[in-house]
């Protein structure tokens, strides 16, 4: 029987941390998945080829190359046709993972509904949410990024039939913080419980993915009251600068790193590794 696999995204390599921290994190995430008993499959696009399981040399390339496109679902045909290098977002990693038969994916935090989108006719909503509604992959995350409108994000997921499971928590995590005080649909204490819900979803023939919300480890948490003032400042600066769509999230995350003295970066790394561990355990439970 083949070893169960866990998909890992590549935007964290090419568009996350600077080199060599990005390369170190990519390797640590793969090591964490292996330690849980599963096989890592870091997903990326090289010269237009979709790859589910980058080699170490290929990961080094994405960590150091200058011309790597951040690829969402809409960008896939462009990158493939033009034989470009691409790093995959949550949405694209999900799509490629299911294409290669991988059912579990570990990321940091999903995208969602941006703050103020409800009052904006353009409604800035991440493609991650629609992908969760239609692509059958278990996504392990630390909730949605705290820079987003979390109640609106959960409302969108509910409307589109996406089950949100709290991993050893009753509350939807707020990325840097362990709780948003927003309820999840169900609490699971173990990987086996998550696997059972996933099997039931498949047997019922329901479309889409399963979102497993796994809180950041307690020792690495930035309490909501400590991070929220920095988030509000960064969001206001983004609005003043006229940033829109894909420009917003990278700006906000980089600005938070500056405003928190890089505490947010350390928290981000901790939650990524924690999600890789839990995803590995879920993949093993599914394979048993």
Q: Which residues of the chain have a pLDDT value below 50?
A: 121-122
- What letter would DSSP give residue 174? B
* Given the residues 9, 30, 221, 281, the one annotated as active site: 9
CA 262 to chain centre: 20
Strands 5-8 and 138-141, bridge-based pairing: unpaired
Q: Is 9 a catalytic residue?
A: yes
pLDDT digits (tens, 9 = 90+) for 205-222: 999 999 999 999 999 999
CA separation for the pair 116, 279 (Å, rounded) = 32
Q: Is 263 a catalytic residue?
A: no
Q: Which token pair is 172?
A: 């939807």
- Which residue in this structure is represented by tokens 């993949």? 283
What local confidence, expressed as pLDDT, does residue 122 receive? 45
Long-range contacts for 239-245 (Cβ within 8 Å, ≥24 apart)?
239/116, 244/122, 244/124, 245/124
User: Quick check: bond before 20 cis, omega within 30?
Assistant: yes
CA separation for the pair 107, 134 (Å, rounded) = 18
Q: How many helices (H) and strands (E) does the chain have?
A: 11, 10
* Given the residues 30, 103, 145, 281, the one annotated as active site: 145
Please tell me the pTM assigned to this model.
0.94
What domains appear along the chain, each with residue ranges and CATH number?
5-287 (3.40.1790.10)
What local confidence, expressed as pLDDT, does residue 121 receive? 40
pLDDT digits (tens, 9 = 90+) for 150-161: 999 999 999 999
CA separation for the pair 84, 62 (Å, rounded) = 12
User: What ranges make up the beta strands (E) of 89-227?
Assistant: 104-106, 138-141, 163-167, 186-188, 210-213
What local confidence, expressed as pLDDT, does residue 98 receive? 98
């Amino acid at each position: 029987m083949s070893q169960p696999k866990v998909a890992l995204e590549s935007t964290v390599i090419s568009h996350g941390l600077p080199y060599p921290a990005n390369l170190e994190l990519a390797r640590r995430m793969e090591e964490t998945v292996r330690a849980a008993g599963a096989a890592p499959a870091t997903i990326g696009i090289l010269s237009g080829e979709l790859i589910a399981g980058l080699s170490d040399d290929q990961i080094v390339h994405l960590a150091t190359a200058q011309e790597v496109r951040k690829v969402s679902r809409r960008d896939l045909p462009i990158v493939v046709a033009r034989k470009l290098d691409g790093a995959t977002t949550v949405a694209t990693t999900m799509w490629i993972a299911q294409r290669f038969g991988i059912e579990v994916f570990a990321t940091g935090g999903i995208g969602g509904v941006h703050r103020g989108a409800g009052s904006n006719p353009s409604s800035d909503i991440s493609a991650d949410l629609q992908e969760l509604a239609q692509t059958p992959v278990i996504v392990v995350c630390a909730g949605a990024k705290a820079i987003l409108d979390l109640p609106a994000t959960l409302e969108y997921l509910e409307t589109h039939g996406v089950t949100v499971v709290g991993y050893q928590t009753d509350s939807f995590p707020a990325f840097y913080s362990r709780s948003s005080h927003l309820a999840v649909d169900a609490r699971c204490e173990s990987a086996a419980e998550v696997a059972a819900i996933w099997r039931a979803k498949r047997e019922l023939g329901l479309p889409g993915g399963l979102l497993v919300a796994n809180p950041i480890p307690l020792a690495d948490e930035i309490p909501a009251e400590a991070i929220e003032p920095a988030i509000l400042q960064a969001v206001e600066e983004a609005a003043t600068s006229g940033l829109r769509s894909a420009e917003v999230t990278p700006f906000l995350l980089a600005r938070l790193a500056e405003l928190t003295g890089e505490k947010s970066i350390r928290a981000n790394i901790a939650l990524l590794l924690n999600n890789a561990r839990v995803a590995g355990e879920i993949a093993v439970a599914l394979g048993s």
